[in-house]
Chains A and B, each alone.
Chain A
Amino acid sequence: MKDNRRDFIKKGASLATALSLGAVGASASAVKPETTKTLPAKKVAWPVVEGPDTPKMTMNISPTDVSSKLKAIKQFGCDYVHMSGPRLPWTVENIQPIVDKFKAAELTIINMMVGFSGSIIHGTEGRDAEIKLVQDALVVAGKVGIPVVEYNFYAHRLTEGYYSVPGRGGSSYLGFDYNRVNPTTGIAPKDLPPTEKEPAMTRDQLWANITYFLKAVIPVAEKAGVVMALHPNDPPPPISRGSEQIMGSFADWKKMLAIVDSPSNGMTFDCGVSTELGEDAVEVLKYMAARKRINHVHYRNVLLDTPRMKYVEVFIDNGQVNMFAIMQELVKHNYKYGIFAEHPRGNAIDKERGGDFISYLYNQAYARAMLQACLTLEQGYKG
């Protein structure tokens, strides 16, 4: 990386013009007093340069949100947002106004999640029509300049295994335990049956269906200039209401990335889920980044008891994931898409105020600090 430092700074200098996916304004401000020659930083001028090839802080927001959250996101150092897109079909006519609305608030949509019907996952009637809608959505994303489309491929998301664990200062952590008998229902998550809406799927069926899907959509994504990000199975136990999970192990992630060999066929790298699997999150990151397959990042922390089976999601600063190491590797690999500091913990202020924005704010500020620390080092600062 050190070889790239000068190149990096050079790029940074012309970042405003070079950046196709939006303005980098977190370090910019309406107030720009000239700094004098007594710069306190040694070698690396602050605020540290961010550019086309550095990670982008992003926060989640609804396309229709008109609350103060919109302004707060910008104020608290995020120039990017991501969101669940509207229901399919997407058209330029219904997506462009969303892009424009956020642009007016100086926010760029870095990722729009697409939801599709069970026919694609289950390989049932209507699949091809639904795939056509996804293909059209990718074309629209490309036209309106949204660089990433994120999606899930669960037969069933086993949220039934989550429970609340008392955390720091009376906060609440999110525990997952595959074998814990729910005190209300008397059933452990591992014993839950399939439902009519979400029938049991085998690995073979799911692999066949995701392969069919990827071969249909990735070429369209490539042509549209859009990259796709598959979110891993979270929680990641091997079986979820009778369905085998194909996105709950590193081996399976590798297999998925190999189905279509294209940067458009990527994933959401989640350092939390990677750790929940018992993997070294830095190794997972390096594998994916080397192949240019990280198209979105979830930046969060966890304490693991038993891989895939039992863990607790904690505050970002008190889990076992080395958050500095994660950010440093992302920066070293010139990762340029969104970093979302997600799964924040319940706290006294949100409890009073309603919602969960203050907890997201804590994570966002923490992640931004890590980003600036890593950029400072990568740009050559030596203390």
Chain B
Amino acid sequence: MSNNRRDFIKKGGSLAAALSIGAVGASASALKGTAPVPAQKVPWPVEEGPDTPKMTMNVGHNDMSSKVRAIKQFGADYVHMDAPALPWTQAQIQAIVDRFKAEGLSIINHRIILPPSILHNMAGRDEDIKKVQDAIRITGKVGIPVIEYNFYSHRLREGYYNSVGRGNSRYLSFDYNRKMPNPADNNWNEPRDRRPDEMQFAASELKATEAEPATSEEQFWENITYFLKAIIPVAEESGVKMALHPNDPPPPLSRGSAQPMGSFAGWKKLLAIVDSPANGMTFDCGVSTEIGENAIDVLHYMAARNRINHMHFRNVKVETPRIKYTETYPDAGQVNMFAVMQELVRAKYKYGVFAEHPPGNIIDKERGGDFIGYIYNQAYARGVLQSVLTLEQGYKG
């Protein structure tokens, strides 16, 4: 990496002009410090540019609250969001892009929701794939670089429960096999995802539903292969990258459906279906750890192939891989967050870093929502990013 240092700094100098996905303003300011610069060798605020990770926060595409302004204030120049339901018009998406641009924010990723026809090979699949292709073309035209998507038959949120965290904050735990004699005591995080008669069951015991039928591993691979072969060429043409979010939670079976996106082997297989940087994933250091992998190894594998198109920066403590773990504050889990960020920077990862899944805290409880938790995670991630950039740009203490 040290060989690239000069190159990096040179690029940084013209970053505003070179950056096609939006302005990097977190480190910019109308105010400029003058000499003497107290930093040894690396001037601060440390340079960010086209080839450095971008802090991003999640926001509703129609959110008009103070949150939009706060995101910018708290050091994120990028946002990502759930896109409106398909189909779109270009004018509709352009208006969203422009609205955030007016706040100094660039959309780095928007998520689309795939209909059951695509996930389960049901009637109307080709028409729905056509809608996704059109959406990818619009995304390219309005300059959004990444589309994120899920490919779950069923997301097994029924295994989540609330546990007691630091200072009595609320942690999110997952246990595939957890059940208690008294359903009222189970403290499920998402009780609404269960029918009343399912409250006493462990997540592993839950059956498929009509809306989300059981999908075998073979069916999954058939369906996702069909989908990727149809859309990745369009993404390539449009200059758009796709990011598949891994299965989270990642147990092997989810209401009877196989979860190939809950293992590293499955992720590798996915990336091989179409050999293109447009066929990428959301690298999640939390999920990677939940499945018992070394998150750094997963990162190296994906980054070496240019397949990390979005990133979830969060921490976890694992008891049994894929089966039992607790999501923690970014500073209180087993993932070496410094190592993860350092490898992202070294790989010249240039898309979004989203510091997600904050624990429940007392300020949000009073205020409503969860934004304060996200601010903590964002500030933490920004601190890690700047520590790594300082080192990678040559600082030696």
Which residue numbers of A lie inside 8 Å of B, CB to CB?
A: 25-36, 38-42, 44-48, 68, 71-77, 105-106, 165-171, 173, 274-275, 278-283, 301-306, 312, 314-315, 317-325, 327-329, 332, 345, 347-349, 351-353, 357-358, 361-370, 372-374, 376-377, 381, 383
With A38-B292, A74-B167 as contacts: A369 and B382 at CB distance below 8 Å: yes
Taken together as a complex, chains A and B put the C-alpha atoms of A47 and B37 apart, in Å, by: 33
- Interchain CB contact under 8 A, B317 and A381: no
Taken together as a complex, chains A and B put the C-alpha atoms of A303 and B35 apart, in Å, by: 10
- Interchain CB contact under 8 A, A315 and B34: no
Give per-residue flags for B53-77: 1 if the beta carbon is below 8 A from chain A beta carbons, else 0: 0000000000000110111111100
Q: Which residues of A contact B329 (CB under 8 A)?
A: 76-77
B98 is an interface residue with CB less than 8 A from chain A: no
CB < 8 Å neighbour of A30 from B29, B165, B334, B336 = B165
- Interchain CB contact under 8 A, A40 and B45: no
Interface residues of B in 311-341 (CB under 8 A from A): 315, 317-321, 324-326, 328-339
Q: Which residues of A contact B46 (CB under 8 A)?
A: 322
CB < 8 Å neighbour of A35 from B44, B173, B334 = B334
Chain A proximity of B36: nearest CB distance (Å): 6
Taken together as a complex, chains A and B put the C-alpha atoms of A170 and B395 apart, in Å, by: 32
Taken together as a complex, chains A and B put the C-alpha atoms of A370 and B397 apart, in Å, by: 14
- Interchain CB contact under 8 A, B335 and A41: yes
CB pairs A–B below 8 angstroms (10 shown): A31-B163, A35-B319, A36-B321, A47-B331, A72-B363, A171-B73, A280-B40, A303-B33, A347-B74, A349-B371
- Interchain CB contact under 8 A, B72 and A169: yes
- Interchain CB contact under 8 A, B34 and A305: yes
Chain B proximity of A380: nearest CB distance (Å): 12
Q: Which residues of B contact A32 (CB under 8 A)?
A: 317
CB < 8 Å neighbour of A319 from B33, B168, B294, B382 = B33
- Interchain CB contact under 8 A, B173 and A31: yes
Chain A's closest residue to B341 (CB) is A373
B150 is an interface residue with CB less than 8 A from chain A: no
CB < 8 Å neighbour of A279 from B30, B38, B363 = B38
CB < 8 Å neighbour of A358 from B330, B372, B395 = B372
Chain A's closest residue to B28 (CB) is A318
Q: Which residues of B contact A25 (CB under 8 A)?
A: 166
- Interchain CB contact under 8 A, A33 and B324: yes
Q: Which residues of A contact B359 (CB under 8 A)?
A: 75
20 more A-B contacts (CB under 8 A) besides A322-B395, A349-B67, A365-B383? A31-B164, A31-B328, A47-B334, A68-B362, A72-B363, A168-B25, A282-B40, A302-B33, A303-B29, A305-B33, A317-B26, A317-B27, A321-B39, A322-B390, A325-B39, A347-B70, A352-B66, A361-B375, A369-B380, A383-B339
Chain A proximity of B386: nearest CB distance (Å): 6
Interface size for B (C-beta < 8 A) is 97
Q: Which residues of A contact B331 (CB under 8 A)?
A: 26-27, 47, 77, 368-369, 372
Chain A's closest residue to B384 (CB) is A369
- Interchain CB contact under 8 A, B320 and A42: no
- Interchain CB contact under 8 A, A46 and B333: yes
B183 is an interface residue with CB less than 8 A from chain A: no
- Interchain CB contact under 8 A, B44 and A322: yes
| A-B interface, 10 closest residue pairs, ranked by CB to CB distance from nearest | A369-B383, A169-B72, A74-B167, A322-B39, A365-B379, A41-B336, A320-B33, A373-B387, A75-B167, A348-B66
B296 is an interface residue with CB less than 8 A from chain A: yes
Chain A proximity of B312: nearest CB distance (Å): 14
B276 is an interface residue with CB less than 8 A from chain A: no
- Interchain CB contact under 8 A, A40 and B293: yes
Which of A329, A367, A369 counts the most chain B CB atoms within 10 A? A369
- Interchain CB contact under 8 A, A75 and B169: yes
Taken together as a complex, chains A and B put the C-alpha atoms of A171 and B30 apart, in Å, by: 13
Taken together as a complex, chains A and B put the C-alpha atoms of A370 and B382 apart, in Å, by: 9
- Interchain CB contact under 8 A, B395 and A325: yes
CB < 8 Å neighbour of B75 from A41, A44, A45, A317 = A317
CB < 8 Å neighbour of B379 from A28, A348, A363, A374 = A363
Q: Which residues of A contact B103 (CB under 8 A)?
A: 169
Q: Which residues of B contact A303 (CB under 8 A)?
A: 29, 31-33
CB < 8 Å neighbour of B337 from A29, A46, A75 = A46
B361 is an interface residue with CB less than 8 A from chain A: yes
- Interchain CB contact under 8 A, A42 and B375: no
B377 is an interface residue with CB less than 8 A from chain A: yes
Q: Which residues of B contact A278 (CB under 8 A)?
A: 36
Q: Which residues of A contact B72 (CB under 8 A)?
A: 168-170
Taken together as a complex, chains A and B put the C-alpha atoms of A157 and B118 apart, in Å, by: 68
Chain B proximity of A236: nearest CB distance (Å): 15
CB < 8 Å neighbour of B334 from A41, A327, A358 = A41
Q: Which residues of A contact B388 (CB under 8 A)?
A: 373
CB < 8 Å neighbour of A40 from B38, B167, B335, B378 = B335
Taken together as a complex, chains A and B put the C-alpha atoms of A377 and B388 apart, in Å, by: 11
CB < 8 Å neighbour of B363 from A42, A68, A304, A377 = A68
